[in-house]
Amino acid sequence: MNINMLVDWGIAFVDKEGSFYCGTSEVQKDNAVLINNVADLTVYLGDIHTRQSSEFIVNGGLYPAHNLIVTDQYDLADLGVEGKNVSPQLTKKLYDCVKNRKSGLIVPRHVFFQDYNGEEYPRVAFRFEQIEETFGIKRLNAREFLDGDIEYIVNAKHMFNGVGLQSTEWIGRVEGVPDMEMNAITLLKQKYGQGEGLSINFTGVVMGICLYQSASNTKQIFPKAEVNVIADGCTHLVYAPLGIESEEIGDLVARKMCQQVGINYITTGEYMGGKEY
């Protein structure tokens, strides 16, 4: 079973007009398409936020506004990203690969409470229907997935570790919010246990943050699976204060980080081998 994990391949991150463009190249996009084309299942781990997100610079956070629900994509000058694209939808080359596949959306319970700040009555960030509208996809039917009828899943997230979960059961039942804390990985765990026979491949942005955290946690969840980071299908973190001053150094650091946790760090060509594409 070949599973392709697309990490933050949204327009806001990887297209040049994106509000939080990370430097992704067309070659990296093309390599991600090649990897995706041999997958049995594609899972898109994509950020989703409202205008009030505590991540955003205008709200006291670290990052430019990005990946807004569709109903919040207005008056972008007020968010400091005028003229930019804040959409979380997959970049076109990858969207074209999956748009006609049988699909489903899953929004983990904690994502609805991402801006909780100790309130007695926690505020829900958005309605499920708003996320469906934003990605143009209906909520996942878990039974269809377990029966093998789903080929593409959008897994909304807001944390760096896109496969991680956060307990919110103490909040209690909230109308319109899932009662159970689960994500796409929960269903894969139910179906494949320790992951024997799975090949789980990661591409996306950026290597040193969301991509690495998601891949390393996946390896812990599925210790018997083959987990691969496709080096030339990823955008690397180049950051001089950390001593990562070039793509070459970034590549070396990423390789060593992956080796420490049992992840294969390989190129598209090395992965494809004899596969047809």
Residues 25-80: tens digit of each pLDDT: 999 999 999 999 999 999 999 999 999 999 999 999 999 999 999 999 999 999 99
- Output the pLDDT for position 277: 40
Domain range for 126: 2-272
Count of positions (residues) in the chain: 277
With respect to residue 277, please indicate whether it lies within any of the assigned structural domains.
no
* Selection from 107-111, 168-172, 239-243 with the highest mean pLDDT: 107-111
Q: Three-state SS for 191? A: helix
Residues 160-199: tens digit of each pLDDT: 999 999 999 999 999 999 999 999 999 999 999 999 999 9
With respect to residue 236, please indicate whether it lies within any of the assigned structural domains.
yes
CA 207 vs CA 90, 102, 148: distances in Å: 18, 29, 30
> Tokens at residue 22, please?
């990370």
Residue 243 has pLDDT above 90, yes or no: no
Max Cα distance, the chain (Å): 57
Residue 275 has pLDDT above 70, yes or no: no
Neighbours of 260 (CB within 10 A): 9
Residue 149 has pLDDT above 60, yes or no: yes
* Mean pLDDT, the chain, whole residue set: 94
Residue 274 has pLDDT above 80, yes or no: no
- Output the pLDDT for position 236: 86
Q: Residue type for 3, please?
A: I
With respect to residue 201, please indicate whether it lies within any of the assigned structural domains.
yes
51 close to 68: Cβ distance less than 8 angstroms: yes
Share of the chain above pLDDT 70, in %: 96
Residue 253 has pLDDT above 70, yes or no: yes
Q: Which residue has the tokens 């969301």?
A: 210
In total, how many domains does the chain have? 1
Neighbours of 242 (CB within 10 A): 12
Query: How does residue 248 score in pLDDT terms, banded at 50, 70 and 90?
Result: confident
Q: Which residues contact 177 (CB under 8 A, 6 or more apart)?
A: 109, 112, 124, 128
Residue 114's CATH number: 3.40.50.850
With respect to residue 108, please indicate whether it lies within any of the assigned structural domains.
yes
With respect to residue 257, please indicate whether it lies within any of the assigned structural domains.
yes
d(C-alpha 10, C-alpha 25), whole Å: 13
Residue 240 has pLDDT above 80, yes or no: no
